[in-house]
Amino acid sequence: MSVFSHREFDRHELVAFHHDPATGLKAIIAVHNTRLGKGLGGCRMYPYASDAEALTDVLRLSRGMTYKAALAGLPQGGGKSVIIGDPRRDKTPEMMRAMGRFVDSVGGRYVVAEDSGTSVPDIRLMAEHTAHVGGLAPPGDTSRTGDPSPATATGTFIGIQAAVRHQLGREDLRGLKVAIQGVGNVGRRLARHLHEAGAQLWVTDSYAPAVEHCVTAFGATPVAMDAIYGLDVEVFAPCALGAILNDDTIPQLKARVVAGAANNQLAEPRHGLRLLDRGILYAPDYVINAGGIIDIHYEGPEYQWSVVEAHLRRIGATLTTIFERARAEQRSTHEIADRMAEEIFRPTARG
Ligand code: NAD
């Protein structure tokens, strides 16, 4: 298993492997770039089929965090960690404490937060052994859960406003037709923002009660899962799965804007170009869904939602800059976003 010649290796500053026989912990920490600050990123626990698969994931995800933090205007770099194991079967408190010691051993270059397979209580166990944790409310503060979904939903709503303004020349969302794929933690809250702004909603979800809630609370129209792509709407907001912008779905789209919170929406980078060819404006996922990382940044004793919200508004301004540059250069928005991020965290890369 190679590291330096790995296809996902991209000048990562640190890749550390750790095995703790006493707890069974097998973990990797990757720090991609710390030029703007410590490498912040979640700890993902997943039953990877092989060590190589875990390495691929941690290299890719940590790099993505650098881009996300840079365009979110945060003084942070990109990092990520993975634990090889099934969170339902293999996770123990002692293993989480061992992970905390591992995080501590890299001396603050990596700051751990929750991700799929880990939760706030797990991060609290890690915090017994390291100060390098993010996204935790102070002990005893029960006013917040540490769930970043409300901030992600608000940021996504602000991003949709920016995309609609740019593409459709509309300030007002009243009567705007929006299709939302996935109305879970983020999608449900996004639906509420859109409903309050007067938008008309079509929703789908593999979990029927989630759809029912939106029908009752926001007057949304329920749609079969496969039908969500081809609706005659102005905005398609993917808030469930990755890779949903692909060779099958892009030809079906009637929406002129794709803007939603799901991660890794483009199946491949070339699908960004296909959207451009079809005249569909795509809000790059890691820019529009940065609300969660912004929220985590402000977590702590001084937390104030008004401060978080003011920062979330910058997502709209950043997207507008991306859209304008993409239009001027006739390039895809995700390519422009990547380039803008690199100009921030690697300013001499092109020099
Ligand atoms: P969630 O699990 O709460 O909600 C996802 C919803 O999608 C669920 O209700 C699920 O039933 C539904 N779903 C699954 N497969 C589906 C399908 N094929 N068609 C339609 N619906 C389907 O997750 P979430 O926290 O709301 O996150 C949604 C997306 O946003 C994910 O891609 C996540 O990675 C991304 N994201 C979330 C945050 C956050 O703060 N939660 C931050 C950044 C990015």
How is residue 256 written in tokens? Answer: 């002129």
Ligand 1 pocket test, candidate residues 185, 226, 228, most atoms within 8 A of CB:
185
Ligand 1 site, residue 204, Cβ cutoff 6 A: yes
If you search the block for the tokens 């751990």, which residue do you land on?
Answer: 112
Could you identify the atom of ligand 1 that is nearest to the CA of residue 260?
A: 30
Whether 245 shows a pLDDT value over 90: the answer reads: yes
Would you place residue 142 in the very low, low, confident or very high pLDDT band (cuts 50, 70, 90)? Answer: confident
Q: In the prediction, which pLDDT does 74 show?
A: 97
Ligand 1 site, residue 241, Cβ cutoff 6 A: yes
Ligand 1 site, residue 207, Cβ cutoff 6 A: yes
Could you identify the atom of ligand 1 that is nearest to the CA of residue 151?
A: 40
Find the 87 Cα to ligand 1 centroid distance in Å.
19
Q: Which residues contact 53 (CB under 8 A, 6 or more apart)?
A: none
Atom 9, ligand 1: which residue's CA is nearest?
184
Strand order in the sheet with 77-84: 14-20, 25-33, 77-84, 39-46, 110-114
Between CA 323 and CA 316 the distance in angstroms is: 10
Find the 1 Cα to ligand 1 centroid distance in Å.
32
Would you place residue 351 in the very low, low, confident or very high pLDDT band (cuts 50, 70, 90)? Answer: very low
Among 76, 60, 95, 103, smallest CA distance to 299 is for 76
Q: In the prediction, which pLDDT does 311 show?
A: 98
Could you identify the atom of ligand 1 that is nearest to the CA of residue 186?
A: 26
Q: Which residues are catalytic?
A: 80
pTM as predicted? 0.93
